[in-house]
Amino acid sequence: MLNIRKTNINDFKQLYSLGLKTPELKVNKKDSFMDRDDFKLRILDKKHIFLVAEEDKKIAGFICASAKDIERPLKNKYACLVYIAVLPEYRKRGIATKLYNECVKKLKRRGITHIYAWADMKSGIINFLKKRGFDEGKPSVWMDRKL
């Protein structure tokens, strides 16, 4: 049976490992995933929604959304869908949809009115997002550099 729950710091190692193994989450040509400390802070930060999907007490996937913009004095309140990942052996079973739906419910309770996401144009996430009402924006390229 699938269980969606709030992530806790004890999940960190397993979730970070899942992120490292998920090619769609590759940050750039050199880095396979986000910085460990940044990822850990997102789990602990109350301005993030960070949920995990478990099946038979095994983590199958996670979702992370940042609601940091909520304090800005704007009519619309935005959140960023940072990550959604499901292990390959659990894909095509609706787990990502359940994670997404639960995340959206929690964001709405916080007063969020809009959600946006950056997506790898070569991955299946584009279709996932379109099915949930996301409009495709102008193509862009993520660029970064270590200073």
Query: Alpha helix (H) ranges present in the chain?
Result: 12-21, 36-44, 95-109, 125-131
Residue 66 · residue 103 · CB < 8 Å: no
SS3 14: helix
Question: What φ, ψ does residue 33 adopt, rounded to 5°?
Answer: -165, 175
Which residues make Cβ contacts (< 8 Å) with residue 64, sequence separation at least 6? 42, 48, 49, 50, 51, 81, 82, 83, 84
pLDDT, tens only, 5-52? 999 999 999 999 998 888 777 767 777 788 889 999 999 998 899 999
Q: pLDDT higher for 97 or 147? A: 97
* Chain segment 88-118, per-residue pLDDT in tens: 999 999 999 999 999 999 999 998 888 988 7
Residues belonging to the chain: 147
Over 70: is that where the pLDDT of 70 sits? no
